[in-house]
Chains A and B, each alone.
Chain A
Amino acid sequence: MPFRHKNTRRIEGLDSNVWVEFTKVAADPSIVNLGQGLPDISPPSYVKEELAKVAAVDRLNQYTRGFGHPSLVKALSQVYEKVCGRKIDPLTDILVTVGAYGSLFSTIQALIEEGDEVIIIEPFYDCYEPMVKMAGAKPVFIPLRCKNNGNSASSADWVLDPAELANKFNSKTKAIILNTPHNPIGKVFTLEELQVIADLCIKHDTLCISDEVYEWLVYKGNKHIKIATLPGMWERTVTIGSAGKTYSVTGWKLGWSIGPEYLIKHLQVVHQNTLYTCPTPLQEALAQAFWVDYKRMDDPDCYFYSLSRELESKRDRMAQLLKEAGLKPVIPDGGYFMIVDVSTLNVDLSDVDEKQPYDYKFVKWMIASKKLSAIPLSAFCGLETKKQFEKYIRFCFIKKDSTLDAAEVILKNWNKQTG
């Protein structure tokens, strides 16, 4: 009898992945890797120390509460109560998941029905699209557009057209996915911009899935605003956070969803029927780390602010180097990525046969000839918008000084090798 088992419809077409493609290419140690968002700086020492301590406690190597380790959800509720200015019940309003990825997955599986439409702002973190599709729903894209006719110096230049956005909402629209601070552009949505989105969500009774993993990484002159704190929004927003981004421990894979009980309870059902519980020792260590920083949330030494300051100087250094090499960086207001317009270099890649967008070809050329890697921006766009973004590539700057030093050498020598 022939073997008839193939993949289910729900994962049809979801197998390709930009990370699988580019991390393989950039894995060569001689390449300076500014591609994947992987910090190569050290996490704070007290975070590592807590994990070492915790691993020695026998009870903490066994199962904990499924929806989140009690000391962690308690710590999260305290931190976020302070930030949001409202009471957050640690047991009913919070779910701890395997990374923010797990929160996105649980939220989408819990609340998005087959046939629903979900608005995704381009460029977008690449997993939003396949996750929406896996739920049998339809992604509806809307691009951020550059205000100054393509002359963009700052992430703030990239904006949504309010009329265009309003047109995307209809009775089938179940949710909009918001990402602020934004990956890859680094945009920090302003109060006015959030209000436009909020007004539409309320008018159309739509959910807001707010991916705020970079919430602490905002640079001078900018403020991270939680859309859930706008009037009428707490009841329709699931806000997602990440230990990996907060404490530079991406390998810990802990994230959380915060929102009203009547929404979070459905995420909890998905979670209890998929992974059930997250690793205990990591949750306990994270809880202890949060207590350290909670106590100094009014102090500039708090890691939430000190990391941001450290990254701001890396951002500025990176931008300077790119400009000197003749590239046009878009200075991000937040996050640890920077997009760069490479069209100014006029690198002719028309002889490269592959049917890929320009930025894919550029990055592969740059890896091969300059030993520097980045991620092509069209990886973060829907099919129709790829042309608009194919002159941009994304650099990650949460890198230690020696990595940035190596990047500096390459960028300073860039023009010597071309022309």
Chain B
Amino acid sequence: MLRRAGPSLRHFLLERNSSAGHSSCSREAKMSRPVRARRLEGIDKNIWVEFVNLAATYSKVNLGQGFPDFPAPDFLTEALTRALGGGNHMLHQYTRAFVIIIEPFFDCYEPMVKMAGGTPVFVPLRPNPPKDGKLMSSADWQLDPAELASKFSERTKAIVLNSPNNPLGKVFSREELGLIAELCVKHDVLCISDEVYEWLVYDGKQHIRIASLQGMWDRTVIIGSAGKTFSATGWKVGWAVGPDRLLQHLRTVHQNSVYHCATIAQEAVAQGFQRELMLYGKPESYFVQLPKELQQKRDWLVQSLDGVGMKPIIPEGTYFLVADISPFKSDVPDVPNSDEPYDSRFAKWMVKNKGLAAIPLSAFYSEAHKNNYTNFIRFCFAKEEATLKAASDILQKWKQKKTSS
């Protein structure tokens, strides 16, 4: 496939040395003054650095990190090829306040707030399981209105909303958004609305943009992603949409941090959007086809998990689902007084021993709440049929091993 003058990717990752003893500069004196800036305190750990490495080392089937393992659509890669071949070689040429974060949350929100010197304030989605013993839906995880209201104070600067929600897959309803909007308006709070999965909603559900609610456009920054929209996470093109008086400050940060994004990727994404604009609402639209395809994969994975006794929470959106792994807990005994949350130890054991990679739910909780839910792990189902089938096979064998022993 690709010419490689160096070692293969996988072999290379396996070669990773620990820092001790490898550096040849142990004889040279380090600086004696402290070097690390205070703003980095407490934010050095990162779930992805840890789990991506584990998955690369051990997993045969990776349903962990959220990226599609099916190709990006042809029209997008063709747009890039056209941009490359178009003869325009210029395409190769030149970002004591409180922020409310809803748990479970995409992990980067917390360290980013801290790095800005802000204080995260957490409010949980709480599960209300259906009485009839049916599988839970992400809709069953809800905010308590009184609890939410109690988190707002005059020092609250912003709330981070993520809908559709990673990891649960929850799609906030109009009523739920209305509740949040009312509080934002009442307390003059900004809303940072992470809507990267905006096109991935199932069962005929509607993604509602909080910025469209009364009083919200002027106080909301909406965030989108080409990686999620067009299944090209490696392109790293995202955007913020909002009123100029807020966006102007984002531009200042941007011009003093990275300044530009890759030209050619932006050009190709623009062409992707032109196509979608023309096909908007039509059956050939990628925004219609992708959720349709992913819904089937969701249902397939739900069935596989349910079939072996893991209890999936059926997501209304995104390409993630969270499952309760309780029946399999006996394989990973509890270690009292352990620093590490149970689900994290379980997930690590699972990838090393079963070759199946997933992410522990505790990764999406603040430090104080990491042990609130010990039995859930997150699976990504934006995967080829073959990958999902392989996952199912692993689960089946695992179940058989348990019942026969």
Query: Taking beta carbons and an 8 Å cutoff, which residues of A are in contact with B?
Result: 1-8, 11, 14-15, 17, 20, 38-40, 42-43, 47-48, 51-67, 70-71, 74-75, 78, 86-87, 89, 91-93, 97-99, 101-102, 105, 109-114, 127, 130-131, 134-135, 205, 207, 232, 234-236, 244, 248-253, 260-263, 265-266, 269-270, 272-282, 284, 288, 291, 294-295
Contacts and interface: CB of A to CB of B under 8 A. Distances in A.
B31 A87 contact: no
Interface stretch (B130-138, B251-259, B347-355, B391-399): B251-259
Given A38-B93, A65-B52, 14 more contacts: A7-B249, A17-B255, A52-B81, A61-B231, A71-B6, A87-B24, A111-B36, A232-B29, A235-B29, A251-B93, A260-B23, A269-B44, A279-B235, A288-B3
A205 B37 contact: no
Interface stretch (B13-21, B202-210, B279-287): B13-21
Given A205-B33, A262-B35, A134 B256 contact: yes
A100 to B, nearest CB: 10
A347 to B, nearest CB: 31
Interface string B229-255: 001111110000000001011011101
20 contacts: A20-B255, A43-B89, A66-B46, A74-B7, A87-B24, A99-B258, A110-B36, A114-B38, A130-B256, A135-B37, A207-B35, A235-B28, A235-B30, A249-B92, A251-B93, A252-B92, A263-B35, A266-B36, A273-B46, A276-B48
B261 interface: yes
A112 B37 contact: yes
Interface of B: 1-7, 9, 12-13, 16-17, 19, 22-25, 28-33, 35-40, 43-44, 46, 48-49, 52, 65, 67-72, 77, 80-81, 84-85, 89-95, 108, 111-112, 115-116, 157, 185-188, 190, 218-219, 227, 231-236, 246, 248-249, 251-253, 255-265
Contacts of A97: 258
A71 B49 contact: no
B36 A63 contact: no
Contact of A251 (B12, B67, B234, B263): B263
Given A66-B49, A70-B12, A279-B235, A261 B35 contact: no
Contacts of A250: 92-94
B29 A279 contact: no
A62 B69 contact: yes
Contacts of B29: 232, 235
A78 B7 CA distance: 12
B256 A62 contact: no
Contacts of B3: 288, 291
Contact of B31 (A105, A110, A236): A236
A112 B9 CA distance: 34
Nearest to A20: B255
B6 A61 contact: no
A62 B37 contact: no
B347 to A, nearest CB: 19
A15 B91 contact: no
A97 B262 CA distance: 12
A63 B67 contact: yes
A259 to B, nearest CB: 10
Contacts of B33: 205
Nearest to B34: A113
A294 B81 CA distance: 27
A72 B108 CA distance: 25
B237 to A, nearest CB: 8
B49 to A, nearest CB: 6
Contact of A269 (B22, B43, B108): B43
B250 to A, nearest CB: 10
Given A51-B84, A74-B6, A11 B232 contact: no
A3 B12 contact: no
Contacts of B32: 205
Contacts of A131: 256-257
Given A58-B71, A61-B71, A109-B39, A278 B236 contact: yes
Contact of B262 (A64, A113, A279): A279
A89 B84 contact: no
A265 to B, nearest CB: 8
Contact of A14 (B35, B256, B262): B256
B255 A273 contact: no
A57 B40 CA distance: 36
A401 to B, nearest CB: 14
A276 B108 contact: yes
Contact of B252 (A15, A67, A280): A15
Contacts of B22: 89, 92
Contacts of B5: 291, 294-295
Closest 9 CB pairs of A and B: A280-B234, A251-B263, A250-B94, A58-B71, A62-B67, A291-B5, A98-B258, A7-B249, A249-B92
A284 to B, nearest CB: 8
B263 A63 contact: no
Nearest to A272: B46
Given A51-B84, A52-B81, A61 B72 contact: yes
A55 to B, nearest CB: 5
A42 B89 contact: yes
Contacts of A253: 94, 258, 260-263
A214 B248 CA distance: 32
A51 B261 CA distance: 16
A103 B263 CA distance: 19
B372 to A, nearest CB: 24
Contact of B16 (A91, A98, A110, A205): A91
B69 A249 contact: no
B243 to A, nearest CB: 10
* Interface hub of B67, B190, B258 (most chain A Cβ within 10 A): B258
A235 B80 CA distance: 42
A281 B235 CA distance: 7
B252 A14 contact: yes
Contact of A113 (B6, B38, B236): B38
Nearest to A281: B234
B9 A92 contact: no
Given A14-B252, A14-B256, A235-B28, A38 B94 contact: yes
Contact of B24 (A2, A6, A86): A86
A11 B94 contact: no
Contacts of B52: 65-66
A3 B35 contact: no
Contacts of B263: 251-253
A339 B43 CA distance: 44
Contacts of A273: 43, 46, 108, 111-112, 115
